[in-house]
Chain A
Amino acid sequence: GEDVEQSLFLSVREGDSSVINCTYTDSSSTYLYWYKQEPGAGLQLLTYIFSNMDMKQDQRLTVLLNKKDKHLSLRIADTQTGDSAIYFCAETFTGGGNKLTFGTGTQLKVEL
């Protein structure tokens, strides 16, 4: 089966950039996602990238995809205390019917 791995914790100071990393093993993955989970809440989609793209930028968020190394990253510029949450990467593949395989999640803590 597919494995999607993330580091468990990341701590940054407010105003700094955060980089959350994710590695995956399934080369047939077609779509890769970043979801955010705030305490006591469900998951919200932040952004996604197609496997034929290298980079996607959306306001403070930059997603980088290295297909050769099967490595995905999410950079949050000017990190704010409201960005404190758990971030999940997820993958699916063509014909997968939106069955998502999630990473273990990275808890981001933003300190003043």
Chain B
Amino acid sequence: NAGVTQTPKFQVLKTGQSMTLQCAQDMNHEYMSWYRQDPGMGLRLIHYSVGAGITDQGEVPNGYNVSRSTTEDFPLRLLSAAPSQTSVYFCASSIRDEITEAFFGQGTRLTVV
């Protein structure tokens, strides 16, 4: 099983450029989310979705857009990249239940110069 697949693994952007980080899961999970990981700050929730067509903001949503047109895919769009968005981004999916395991992708390391 592929689980949660993120692409690309690495990306360098210039300030002001836009791009989309891809996330796909093959476990038919309802719940998907995006986190960013910064040194000394753990993981912070950017956006999440509880099902196709439904998205909501997390703790740090500014500068990011999401959509959920299918159960499988949950792309994260950076509208105009800024150096403050240099981070490692993780996508996660789970059954919509608090006590179940969240499955994480391998991460995308993004550098904005």
Q: Which of B35, B98, B101, B105 has the most CB of A within 10 A?
A: B98
| A residues in contact with B48, CB < 8 Å | 97, 99
Sorting the interface of chain B by its residue count into under 10, 10 to 19, 20 to 34 or 35 or more gives 20 to 34
Q: Does B2 contact A (CB under 8 A)?
A: no
Which of B31, B100, B104 makes the CB contact (< 8 A) with A42? B104
Contacts of A98 in B (CB 8 A): 31, 33, 94, 96-98, 100, 102
Nearest to B44 among chain A residues (CB) is A102
Name B4's closest neighbour in chain A (CB-CB).
A42
A42 to B106, CA, bound (A): 4
Task: Tell me whether B12 is interfacial, beta carbon within 8 Å.
Answer: no
Is A94 a contact partner of B98 (Cβ separation < 8 A)? yes
Q: Is the C-beta of A43 less than 8 angstroms from some C-beta in chain B? A: yes
**How many inter-chain contacts with C-beta < 8 Å in the A-B complex?**
65
Residue in A1, A6, A43, A93 whose beta carbon sits within 8 Å of that of B104 in the complex: A43
CB of B98 within 8 A of CB of A31, answer yes
In contact, B42 and A45 (Cβ under 8 angstroms): no
Instruction: Assess the A42–B107 pair: CB atoms within 8 A.
Output: yes
Please give, as numbers and ranges, the residues of chain A lying within 8 Å of B101 by CB-CB distance: 45
B109 to chain A, nearest CB (A): 9
Q: Is A44 an interface residue (CB 8 A)?
A: yes
Residues of A in contact with B (beta carbons under 8 Å apart): 1, 4, 6, 8, 30-31, 40-45, 48, 50, 88, 92-94, 96-105
Task: List 20 additional A-B contacts (Cβ < 8 Å) besides A42-B90, A98-B98.
Answer: A42-B106, A43-B43, A43-B90, A43-B92, A43-B104, A45-B101, A98-B97, A98-B100, A99-B33, A99-B45, A99-B58, A100-B33, A100-B43, A100-B92, A100-B102, A101-B45, A102-B35, A102-B43, A102-B44, A104-B40
16 A-B pairs within 8 Å (CB atoms) are namely A40-B106, A40-B107, A42-B104, A43-B92, A45-B101, A48-B99, A97-B98, A98-B96, A98-B98, A98-B100, A99-B48, A100-B45, A102-B35, A102-B42, A102-B44, A105-B42
